[in-house]
A and B are shown apart, each in its own frame.
Chain A
């Protein structure tokens, strides 16, 4: 029974990773860059929800919606100011800029909100589900997290397959220049990708903080890096890959924490990343990229 409850916790954490990983994987697929600041957008989303909900007493729903709006705007702004001018620059320059943005958000939050830990109240008020005569308890947060993850995955897949904007995204990720020649507005598509990724980050952040209710300016960076690991694990650029990678990573982390050592759980997750990259650098569902000479 213990194992089962660990497994469920793992799936719940994995669902959060999967939602964050979506942001990484979409941006990586289209802009071919690792958006280091994604994790910190999550943190900003959490602070917005925290301030409106716990301080102003808002209902959770408008609070989460507001944080989504703020994060979306933030994502677009970051893209416009920091990444867009570097579209033709060497990858190293883009990577350093992304690290700079991440660092900027963390330290700006540190100055604005302070370094003290805020205790986040869960946005989910659903009662816990008791199964097998109370031997197995599934918290409301877990249920909402898993459901949200599935809904987001399905909606995003449909969006990409069925809408014009989604098809434009696919085209840009395939070949930016060819897409432009076909009349796709590349800049708008990239902005849209950042907007969707950042909006999802807000949801992921709120769900993460509902499960682990401590909020500091550094809250976002670790889940962010782990979610990137999940995206790589599942195959970067692939939406089902993000789901599979996220959930597997969540399960590995929780089981590692339970059965090996709680202090080593991060090390285990990162060891998984290194092994995956060495054995199958394209991830589980990734496509192999040919290198052009």
Chain B
């Protein structure tokens, strides 16, 4: 028994190592292509968004695939990460001149604050299940967006100024600086994100989630997903493990948000950035890549970000295709007729290969 366990553990480690290697190889190939000048600037511009979406998709996949709860508010966590990260950069810009250090600080702050939000929201919300949880995460995402849009923070020689809804109330001295200017968001963010930073962040997120799901805690989380009552009756602390998965998921989304913000010069909390649509897009990546499969999420995020840019004619239909992907994937996986049909195909294939071998 013990031996078998060891073997399966090794297989998991092997798979992890394989994933890391593939990502690093892809990174090297892309860098070589850039150096050789055979990559258009359009494609280069897509590299960081691709990394961002991959990271957030990894985070959401932990929540949907392993915890079994649908969150449609992950754009909200991204938003929290983006704003706190960018705010941190703006504040430290004068003190720290090293770009890498600055980005690391922003990432730390953004991730921690997003995790904190995930934790605080998780405490009450995770008592709910299924549809209710989904709608509350959606509500939360909208609330975050709304609040950031009416938040005004500025800094001048007198210190910090805060205002809610009424930005005109803040009278700044001449050398004063707006940090968050309501619906105009944070502007003039230094461009710190790079493809390298994105890849490193993907590797770190993967390392975190792989180690989580292969640990004792990870098995507890999956047990809760598969049968909550059975898990509870063997003494698994449901709240603790649900909260753990949800917080880590939120933190990873926050890190993605920080990367996203530092790739833009101005970050605003518009519906296009951090609204419902963004949450759905990330969900499409997770569903298409396979729920519970982190590698799949990255591949789906990369492909679906690249495809509409490569096939220009399809650009208008992108969202429509996302919607059809969601419906088709669910029907393909769950409709009784599809399951029957799939089984038929599989048995036929098996027969054929069996004949070939004989």
Q: A6 on the interface (CB 8 Å rule)?
A: no
With an 8 Å Cβ cutoff, the count of chain B residues facing the other chain is: 49
Given contacts A91-B130, A92-B64, A99-B72, contact A263 B326 (CB under 8 A): no
Cβ contact within 8 Å between A85 and B334: yes
B280 interfacial by beta-carbon distance below 8 Å: yes
> A34-B134, A91-B131, A273-B136 are contacts. A103–B335 as well, Cβ < 8 Å?
no
Chain A residues, Cβ within 8 Å of B334: 85-86, 89-90, 93
A63 interfacial contact with B, CB 8 Å: no
Q: Pick the contact of B139: A94, A108, A229 (CB < 8 A).
A: A229
CB-CB < 8 A to B70: which residues of A?
A: 92, 95-96
Q: Which of A141-199 contact B (CB under 8 A)?
A: none
Name the residue of chain A whose CB is nearest to the CB of B183: A263
Stretch of B98-106, B312-320, B342-350 lying at the A interface: B312-320
- From residue B109, how far is it (CB to closest CB) to chain A in Å? 24
Interface contact tally, CB-CB below 8 A: 130
- B159 CB–A CB distance under 8 Å: no
Q: Cβ of B331 < 8 Å from any Cβ of A?
A: yes
Q: From DSSP, what is the main secondary structure of chain B's interface residues?
A: helix
CB of B198 within 8 Å of the partner chain: no
Chain A interface extent, by class: 35 or more
Stretch at the interface among A66-74, A118-126, A264-272: A264-272
Q: Nearest chain-A residue to B64 (Cβ)?
A: A92
Chain B residues with CB below 8 A from A264, complex form: 146-147, 150, 165
Cβ contacts B160-183/A at 8 Å (1 or 0 each): 000011000000000000000000
* B27 contacts partner chain A, Cβ-Cβ < 8 Å: no
A92 to B327, CA, bound (A): 12
Q: Which of B125, B131, B147, B322 has a CB less than 8 Å from the CB of A95? A: B131
If A97-B331, A264-B146 touch, whether A107 touches B319 (CB-CB below 8 Å) is: yes
User: Is A55 an interface residue, CB under 8 A from the partner?
Assistant: no
Q: CA separation between A108 and B321, bound complex, in Å?
A: 10
Given contacts A103-B323, A111-B317, list 11 more A-B pairs with CB under 8 A.
A95-B131, A100-B323, A100-B325, A100-B330, A103-B326, A104-B320, A107-B323, A232-B135, A264-B147, A267-B146, A273-B139
Q: Which 10 residue pairs of A and B lie closest in terms of their CB atoms, listed nearest first?
A: A100-B326, A85-B335, A104-B323, A270-B139, A89-B334, A267-B146, A103-B323, A34-B131, A100-B327, A107-B319
